[in-house]
Amino acid sequence: MRDLLSCRILFFGGKGGVGKTTCAAAMALAASRMGRRVLLVSTDPAHSTSDILGVDLGPEPRDVSPGLRAVELDAEHEASKFLAGVRTQVASLFSPAVLRDVSQQFEMAASMPGVVDVALFDRMAELMLDASDQADLLIFDTAPTGHTLRLLQMPESLALWIGALASRRREIVRQRGELQGDDPSRATRPDPVLSALERRQARLQQVRHVLSDGNRAAVILVLVAERLPIEETARAVSALDAAGITVGGLILNRVLPEGLEGDFYRARYAQEQLYRADITKRFGARVRAVVPQFEFDIKRFTDLERVSESLFGR
């Protein structure tokens, strides 16, 4: 696990309820105490980060402890900001008459399913590319696996869409230039819409480079020794490998202690051993840490320290 601290960005993912938030917070706390400036970012709508850190978090980073800041991104809030920014940009490019015509489309866009994810990704990209003054390690505590994969694969999807828009816009500009060829000042003037699309393309390319660079970014998957989390983890590993995103390692969480008595414990322990053997067979050296099942809920810094000790083997 210590080797992963050489990355600048770590994403914690996994099936809902396996302990992603606990492990992400424990990693963030440990890294901050090793001298890293850490920003812990929650993108999970459930937002348990506030609870586990014992502080009220919002859409802007706040100090939690020396070297550690945290923020909870709210997708609806980010979507409102995103659409407001687009509206402002459109207002600077087109006449009030055009703006009136598209105002209804803005209202419709606000309720479209993909807008929230795009806005959330946009804010994550902003932090990945522009937050070096705030932190030298970003740890993202993400939503359950499917949503995490959609966000991490979004640069590819958006790049195709924006590329198609830019290509169409270039054709429009070319045709307009042919019609207005007698006005050299208009022919040499940059097209503001095309310029905006090209800036967006360049930024997406930056994000793609970051996510595909295993020295800068990696995903840590958390699972427990049960069938459904194992199957979901296997699918996530395959999808991330196919997307060229580095799986930095797996954390096996909530492992039963040895030596307890009782028929119920022995049955659960025997089942766990079978699943652990399956995890070893499927994932092998990808398992970086094993965290035991503690006797109480993790809800204080001292509790997180115990998890950190399991993660870093000390």
Residues 70-90: pLDDT tens digits? Answer: 999 887 777 777 667 766 766
What pLDDT sits at residue 70?
96
What pLDDT sits at residue 187?
52
**Residue of higher predicted confidence among 44 and 113:** 44
Residues 183-213: pLDDT tens digits? Answer: 555 555 677 677 777 887 888 888 889 999 9
What pLDDT sits at residue 93?
61
What pLDDT sits at residue 64?
94
- Residue 28 tokens read as 């963030």
Residues 281-307: pLDDT tens digits? Answer: 999 999 999 999 999 888 778 889 999
CA distances from 175 to 95, 167, 169, 170, 193 (A): 21, 13, 10, 9, 15
How far apart CA 274 and CA 153 sit, in angstroms, is 33
CA distances from 91 to 21, 34, 51, 87, 202 (A): 40, 47, 41, 6, 22
Q: Is the pLDDT of residue 143 over 90?
A: no
How far apart CA 40 and CA 17 sit, in angstroms, is 19
**Rounded mean pLDDT, 145-168:** 77
CA distances from 71 to 62, 178, 200, 216 (A): 7, 51, 25, 21
